[in-house]
Amino acid sequence: MAKQSTKRAGQIIKRGENTWLVRIFTGRDTRGKRSYLNKTIRGTKKDAQGYLTDTLAMMNKGTFVASSPLTVDEYLDQWLQDAARGRVRERTFSDYSEILKRHVRPALGRKRLSNLRPLDIQIVYTKMLDRGLSSRTVRYTHAVLTSALKQAVKWLMLAQNPAALVDLPKLSRSEMKALSAQDAARFLVAAASDRWSVLFAVALATGMRPEEYLALQWKDVNFDKGIVTVQRALVWLTKGRGWIFTEPKTPKSRRNIPLPTTIVRMLKSHRRLQNEERLKAGRDYQANDLVFATTEGGPLIRRNLLRRHFRPILKKAGLQESIRLYDLRHTCATLLLAANEHPKIVSERLGHANITLTLDTYSHVLPSMQRAASEKLERILFKRKKSA
């Protein structure tokens, strides 16, 4: 008796003029019912035979992936919920959701996942660049989409990752903007009459990230020692789900920062005003212990802070309105380095993972530091010679 072949078999059924049904037996379900893969091919019988041969070969190798009925939108929802949420921090999950919503879903969301091609993704990236978005933004979008589609391959919903075949723009570092000492002073003068003048002063003097000083609580401020402790970040969740405190960006982000005496005085005055607001609000005041809070005790929304306070102050001071809130952090670092503060001290103040990151980020300040070093060597090495 001949040994029965274990390879799958299929058949081609004529359904009309230049229309063929390719039918391949794929096994039995849990109830023992036979299941088939059915595919309609429009063309010649040779086309149908080619599809049958290729599909059988992939099935026998275990590389065949059946066409998924899901759209890209539906798949991304599933990936975010079942894969990403349990693997990344809440703030990262929120970033993933936002980047997909803004750049991927509008262009690709309605397309079937199984029909997604590298060219579709390439066009999305090209249009992002055409809109003036940076190569860094394109590359971040690509990283998120690549991760999502890589999971689709693992889940046998795609045979290969189409994002892996896309060309990326060359990474170009955007010009860093930092205020000069004179501009920083003008900014603080213009901010003096603003409700959040103390917030902007803290940002400039400490080099904290916005999500760090917006998460500060009064228990983090030691007035006796003049020190503030960074130990959490404020994150607003997507889809109106409110806000949460999360871990700081890196382990080194947990740090103690000495405060200038003027900042300590400003914070004491700010606390007195906040206590008055709390008494006025009564039971309606939210007990979040936030240093920078709304009149009801809730956390500040960054975009409101920008629109209602930061940008008007820039305009009043006659400064470029393209300066970002985050640039106050850059200003702190740049001013300290330009004043010949040791990069290790600056790195610790910023909460960088290592000093190399600080030196790479603020390399534009190094030439002036090198000049100062040369002048010191001139005095050390050649002072006697000149006086001789």
Per-residue pLDDT of the chain (388 residues; tens, 9 = 90+): 333 334 567 899 999 999 999 998 877 655 677 777 788 899 999 999 998 888 888 777 767 776 778 999 999 999 999 899 888 888 788 889 999 999 999 999 999 998 999 999 999 999 999 998 888 899 999 999 999 999 988 887 888 899 999 999 987 666 678 899 999 999 999 999 999 999 999 999 999 999 999 999 999 999 999 999 999 999 887 767 788 888 888 888 999 999 999 999 999 999 999 999 999 999 999 999 999 999 999 999 999 999 999 999 999 999 998 899 999 999 999 999 888 888 899 999 999 988 888 887 887 776 666 677 777 777 878 875 554 4
What is the spatial distance between Cα 4 and Cα 252, in angstroms, rounded to a whole number? 65
The DSSP output letter for 3 is: P
Give the N- to C-terminal CA distance of the chain in Å, as an integer: 112
Contact between 333 and 346 under an 8 Å Cβ cutoff? The reply is yes
Amino acid at site 250: T
* Residue 374: both structure tokens together: 């040369």
What CATH number matches the domain at 72-165, 2.70.98.10, 3.40.50.12160, 2.60.260.20, 1.10.150.130?
A: 1.10.150.130
Q: Is 235 helix (H, G, I), strand (E, B) or coil?
A: strand
Contact between 141 and 104 under an 8 Å Cβ cutoff? The reply is yes
What is the spatial distance between Cα 13 and Cα 19, in angstroms, rounded to a whole number? 9
Residue 117 has a CB neighbour count (10 Å cut-off) of: 12
What is the spatial distance between Cα 72 and Cα 171, in angstroms, rounded to a whole number? 27
Ordered DSSP codes for 29-92: -TTS-EEEEEEEEES-HHHHHHHHHHHHHHHHHT---PPP--BHHHHHHHHIIIIITTTS-HHH
Phi, psi of 141 (to 5 degrees): -60, -45
This prediction has a pTM of 0.65
Contact between 314 and 321 under an 8 Å Cβ cutoff? The reply is yes
Tell me: domain 181-325, CATH 1.10.3720.10, correct? no
What burial class does residue 219 get, using C-beta atoms within 10 Å of its C-beta: 0-12 exposed, 13-18 middle, 19+ buried?
exposed
